[in-house]
Structure 1
């Protein structure tokens, strides 16, 4: 066999080995990707299976009744569902503007010597365990809020038609609003970090061109940075919302854990996660099934919220493409 034939055979052998390893790599990658869907589907099936006795016993009334009576086996998910949605909404309303301001300051306004320390501080806040936030909220923020902020808000907003009913409640500190505020503090590091990273990837030429045309910093942010990074910004907000909806220990410390439905934000309340954490160890029978049904509802609510955000983002992208054409 000549040297040329040996080289050709070696090359073909190398190509054959490369094709095999490429197929192995593709198959492994597909298996890892499919594992995510399989795990999610398995969790959903398990939750629905264990929750079925509750759904079969109460039907759709489980979703819109507020009674939670362990002694008489009467359960309704309305109070935990409302508590979860309201505390998450409060967290987003407080956390997103603060996170946006932090990200803008770090990316556009902070001097170079200050950017790194603030960035590290934000990342360290994200690493603080949730139970620490809960203890801080219970022992420090809740008493201070009950003695200072809550009386001020009740006095000035409690008498306003319609919205005044939301600023009512006993001055005990633990409440739906307190839980929402603590959640806001918890999600700020996540949202701010993602926003900062998104703002940093905007090409410098785009920002400098806008400044050269006489744009102010706010105009650069609104007309250049946000359109360029909207997908990442919305993704960061949704990540924070998911963290807020599923948070357990911090909320259990400060929400009050009351399964009574009230319109006032200063009344004690409950969320899905806090109810499950407080009652799961002592539950059995229909009570256990009802708690698992709450978990299934949290899974569904989170899935729907994230799907809605994805749909909104797709509509936004199509609208922008239509404007460009």
Structure 2
């Protein structure tokens, strides 16, 4: 029996049930979306309220003051903000080209029998806890860099005019350069996995047509695949950037945790997440605790601004593409 032969009463009853189910589902998913917004707003407001004492005492200058003296109750967020941004920038400068190369290798160059195990290995790397990366960085990477890499960097690159300040300093192994390198190793699996998946969505006919016209693999990748997947690739990059900005344990192990403003990538520094992780248990005064919570609010703002900028960029790209 089809719908044309069903009684009118049964059809009406089914329509009513479908309408109710559709309305209930709509309210359910709407509630889920509103819950996310409420949770986000509540987290931001709670951190702002917890840091109200620091903002009341130091004002907006809290953001660019480089002081951090718990004894004198003198605090500022400039050094942690600087360390957070610099280490994240170093990580992205390393991770984006490497991730692009991995994705290109897995989709265009590697034989089929090799693609699956290598792809699975990359996904396994993404699942390793950050504290493991931090311990590996502290016990393996830091001694290696201090003994074999940083002395050469200081001796050769540290003498370059203007840029030499970035690469001069004692070869301790700990520092913003090491933290950026560990962060890059952490975010490479995320970015490369996203790039690999979106590269696989490119229709084979587009690539075959380009190859038929005499294009090389690099030309196909640069002129066909990247323009087709540009928005998704940028989204994956900013996803990795968000992970790098908020990383705590891996950075805490290798950053050096020195509250000093330095240009050199070889010297120890600090970040917002590392400062909070190291000093939250030692906050023995209301102002000290309020300053740490205010740092959390600043990290929230930095991450929000970066991700909002990513959304705006993706929207502009969509408009250019006519979507």
Q: Same fold per TM (> 0.5)?
A: yes
Change (3 A) 1:217 1:291: same
* In structure 2, C-alpha distance between the alignment counterparts of 1:31 and 1:319, rounded to whole Å: 33
Distance 1:81 1:68 in 2: 13
Partner in structure 2 of residue 43 of structure 1: 43
3-state SS of 1:264 partner: coil
Residue aligning to 2:29: 29
* 1:317 matched residue in structure 2: 318
- Superposed, 1:279-294 pairs within 5 Å as 279-283=279-283, 284-294=285-295
Question: Could you tell me which residue of structure 1 aligns to residue 196 of structure 2?
Answer: 196
Residue matched to 1:229? 229
Does the C-alpha gap of structure 1 residues 115 and 5 become closer, same or farther in structure 2, counting only changes over 3 Å? closer
When the two chains are superposed, the root-mean-square deviation of aligned CA atoms in Å is 1.5
| CA distance in 1 between partners of 2:113 and 2:322 (Å) | 39
CA distance in 2 between counterparts of 1:54 and 1:30 reads: 37
What is the TM-score when the length of structure 1 is the normalising length? Answer: 0.96
Q: CA deviation at 1:211?
A: 0.8
Q: SS of the residue aligned with 1:103?
A: helix
Unaligned ranges ≥5, structure 1: none
Q: Which residue of 1 aligns with 2:182?
A: 182
Identify the residue that residue 263 of structure 2 maps to in structure 1: 263
Pick closer, same or farther for the CA change 1:6–1:222 going to 2, 3 Å: closer
| Helix, strand or coil at the partner of 1:201 | coil
Structure 1 position 127, deviation (Å): 0.7
* Deviation digits for residues 297-321 of structure 1 (CA, Å, limit 9, x no counterpart): 1110111111112222223333444
CA deviation vs aligned residue, 1:9-37 (integer Å, no higher than 9, x gap): 11111111111111001110110111111
**Cα distance in 1, alignment partners of residues 164 and 26 from structure 2:** 59
Which residue in 2 is equivalent to 1:135?
A: 135
TM-score (norm 2): 0.96
Counterpart of 1:262 in 2: which secondary structure?
A: coil
**Structure 2 unaligned residues grouped into runs of 5+:** none
Q: Is the 8 A contact 2:82 2:271 kept in 1?
A: yes
- Partner of 2:7, secondary structure, is helix
Which residue number corresponds to residue 163 of structure 2? 163
